[in-house]
Structure 1
Amino acid sequence: MKDEQAIENEIQAKGLNAPRLTPAQIDAVILAEQYHVFAGTTLTVCCLTLKNGFTVTGESAAASPENFDQDIGRKIARENARQKIWPLEGYLLRESLWSRRDPD
């Protein structure tokens, strides 16, 4: 997320202001989040529900059970799920821009 904010700051500093997605827009479409750790495993799954009801999932798992930490697993799984939102929202933005183009 830190790298994401650094990129956002660079985009703004360079005055690149054509329609685009921002980290804040990605976060704004998340309505709810749920987590599940499968019994006897280190597998953590995060399910993010978006405003339109669509869901995306992300996973994390520790290779060594001794390294498993539920909070860290949730953070990694959530970030993996959140990353899947970018292409979905990017497609919607591109579709919107394409439909508004001048036919000539």
Structure 2
Amino acid sequence: MLSASEASIEAELKTKGLNAPRLTPADIDAAIVGEDFHVFPGTTMTVCALKLRNGFVVIGESAAASPENFDASIGRRIARDNARNRIWELEGYRLRSLLAANA
């Protein structure tokens, strides 16, 4: 799911001709093969578990400070975004390792 920020960055990279090996939002989304959510009973804590194509699971979480502000769909979205952001780090490390091995 390409955010407005990611779309803007992708457009700028293309405009500037920056096309060396890199990760794209599509790469990150393609790594995800499943997702599960859990809200802990009596709390606003929402956890998202994103399963990656290699079987690894990445966790993201969210919680409303005020229970009155808790909205399950917003909590799911924030928790998923947090988990997806962690995939960037993992995939970035993987890509850098591949590039270093081939240097």
Q: TM-score range by the shorter chain?
A: over 0.9
Unaligned runs of 5+ in 1: none
Partners of 1:80 and 1:87 in 2: CA distance: 12
Q: Kindly, what percent of the aligned residue pairs are identical?
A: 64
Cα deviation digits, residues 74-101 of structure 1 (max 9, x gap)? 0000000000001110111111111111
Tell me which residue corresponds to 1:93: 95
| 1:2 Cα deviation after fit | 1.4
Partners of 1:63 and 1:90 in 2: CA distance: 32
Tell which structure's C-alpha radius of gyration is larger.
1
Partners of 2:13 and 2:22 in 1: CA distance: 10
Count the aligned residue pairs.
101
Please report the TM-score for the alignment, with normalisation by the length of structure 2.
0.96
Runs of 4+ in 1 over 3 A off after TM superposition: none
Please report the TM-score for the alignment, with normalisation by the length of structure 1.
0.95
Partners of 1:44 and 1:64 in 2: CA distance: 14
| 1:21 Cα deviation after fit | 0.3
Cα deviation digits, residues 18-43 of structure 1 (max 9, x gap)? 00000000000001000000000000
Task: Verify: 1:79 aligned to 2:87, yes or no.
Answer: no
Q: CA RMSD in A?
A: 0.6
Partners of 1:2 and 1:76 in 2: CA distance: 15
Unaligned runs of 5+ in 2: none
Tell me which residue corresponds to 1:64: 66
Partners of 1:75 and 1:84 in 2: CA distance: 14
